[in-house]
């Protein structure tokens, strides 16, 4: 895992956007995996800037989002569908047919998961996956558990996630209890991954991610066995002054 500690949110966003842009330039027909949440918002803003000012071309790009709340329609302001169009897709020259987000309002969630996984396989997998991390170490909506699902599936959200994500809703009761998410194997098969983490509340999960231990109760820790992950991380979480030997983390957490 390549670790890049960054000292400002803007710099982190610019760096992530630069990596994504570089990959698009190298391979215009790239397949990108996208995440939502507050962490990648600045990266999307930067990518829109690169499109407007430097003509970064999204016309051949295909995207797959990691996850979606079950029960929310695309028009719901808290759906990930709405988020992606509002913050990114509406502002660049991406083709509607190349955008993929699990359907939160599907009548048949199990079938929707199968179809979604099949679409990813059909195109040959994801070239570059952007990830955030939940306070409990989830990626996408792969929640800590004894068993993790490999493929795209329906998941029951943990109380911790419901509480953390309630900041986007009117109240706790409005937060959907279930979601569709890519599975850990779907994510791990991506050729390249950028994991972004900003804010001190991400310190605990991030230290576990780089600890050298892999545990299903920190799903993001599986990323340690992937051979091309760039961790773009808040310097407050990871810096040479606070951290000298990553292998000693488990005792300190």
Phi, psi of 229 (to 5 degrees): -120, 130
Segment near ligand GLP (CB under 6 A), from 9-17, 133-141, 148-156, 216-224?
Answer: 133-141
Which DSSP string corresponds to 106-166? -S-HHHHHHHHHHHHHHTT--SEEEE---TTS-BTTB---SS--SSSEEEEPPHHHHHHHG
CB of 28 to ligand GLP, least distance (A): 26
Residues in 54-113 that interact with ligand GLP by CB under 6 A: 66-67
- 181-214 CB burial, b ≥16 within 10 A, e <16: bbbbebbbbbbbbbbbbbeeebbebbbbbbbeee
Is 237 a binding residue for ligand GLP by CB under 6 A? The answer is no
Count, residues near ligand GLP per rule CB under 6 A? 14
Q: Which two tokens stand for residue 39?
A: 């962490």
Catalytic residue among 81, 100, 138, 153: 138
Query: With respect to ligand GLP, which residue has the nearer C-beta, 28 or 77?
Result: 77
* Contact predicate 13/43, CB 8 Å: yes
Is 156 a binding residue for ligand GLP by CB under 6 A? The answer is no
CB of 129 to ligand GLP, least distance (A): 11
Among 141, 183, 187, 193, the residue binding ligand GLP under the rule CB under 6 A is: 141
Number of C-beta neighbours around residue 151 at 10 A = 17
Q: 149 an active-site residue?
A: no
Q: 138 an active-site residue?
A: yes
Q: 65 an active-site residue?
A: no
Is 140 a binding residue for ligand GLP by CB under 6 A? The answer is yes
* Whole-angstrom distance, CA of residue 232 vs CA of residue 224: 14
Q: What is the dihedral of CA 22, 27, 33, 35, to 10 degrees?
A: 20
Q: What is the dihedral of CA 245, 247, 248, 253, to 10 degrees?
A: 110
Segment near ligand GLP (CB under 6 A), from 21-29, 32-40, 44-52, 203-211?
Answer: 32-40
CB of 19 to ligand GLP, least distance (A): 17
| Contacts of residue 200, Cβ cutoff 8 Å, sequence gap at least 6 | 234, 236, 237
Catalytic residue among 65, 98, 136, 142: 136
DSSP strand pairing (153-156 vs 62-65): unpaired
Is 165 a binding residue for ligand GLP by CB under 6 A? The answer is yes
* Whole-angstrom distance, CA of residue 74 vs CA of residue 193: 26
Query: With respect to ligand GLP, which residue has the nearer C-beta, 60 or 135?
Result: 135
Is 33 a binding residue for ligand GLP by CB under 6 A? The answer is no
CB of 25 to ligand GLP, least distance (A): 26
Segment near ligand GLP (CB under 6 A), from 101-109, 112-120, 128-136, 240-248?
Answer: 128-136
Q: 100 an active-site residue?
A: no
Q: How many residues does the chain have?
A: 253
Residues annotated as catalytic are 67, 136, 138, 143
Q: Which residues bind ligand GLP (CB under 6 A)?
A: 35-39, 66-67, 132-134, 140-141, 161, 165
């Amino acid at each position: 895992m390549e670790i890049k500690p960054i000292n400002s949110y803007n710099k982190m966003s610019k760096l992530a956007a630069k990596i994504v842009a570089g990959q698009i330039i190298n391979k215009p027909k790239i397949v990108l995996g996208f995440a939502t949440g507050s962490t990648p918002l600045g990266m999307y803003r930067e990518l829109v800037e690169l499109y407007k000012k430097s003509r970064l071309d999204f016309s051949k790009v295909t995207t797959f989002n990691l996850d979606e709340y079950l029960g929310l329609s695309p028009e719901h302001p808290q759906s990930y569908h709405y988020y992606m169009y509002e913050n990114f897709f509406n502002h660049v020259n991406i083709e509607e047919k190349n955008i993929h987000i699990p359907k939160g309002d599907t009548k048949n969630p199990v079938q929707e998961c199968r179809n979604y996984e099949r679409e990813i396989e059909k195109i040959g997998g994801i070239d570059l996956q952007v990830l955030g991390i939940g306070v409990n170490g989830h990626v996408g909506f792969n929640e800590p558990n004894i068993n993790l699902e490999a493929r795209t599936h329906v998941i029951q959200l943990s109380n911790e996630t419901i509480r953390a994500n309630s900041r986007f809703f009117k109240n706790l009761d409005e937060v959907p209890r279930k979601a569709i998410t890519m599975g850990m194997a779907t994510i791990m098969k991506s050729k390249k991954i950028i994991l972004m983490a900003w804010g001190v509340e991400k310190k605990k999960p991030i230290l576990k991610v780089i600890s050298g231990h892999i545990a299903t109760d920190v799903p993001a820790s599986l990323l340690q066995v992937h051979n091309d992950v760039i961790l773009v991380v808040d310097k407050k979480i990871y810096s040479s002054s606070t951290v000298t030997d990553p292998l000693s983390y488990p005792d300190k957490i």
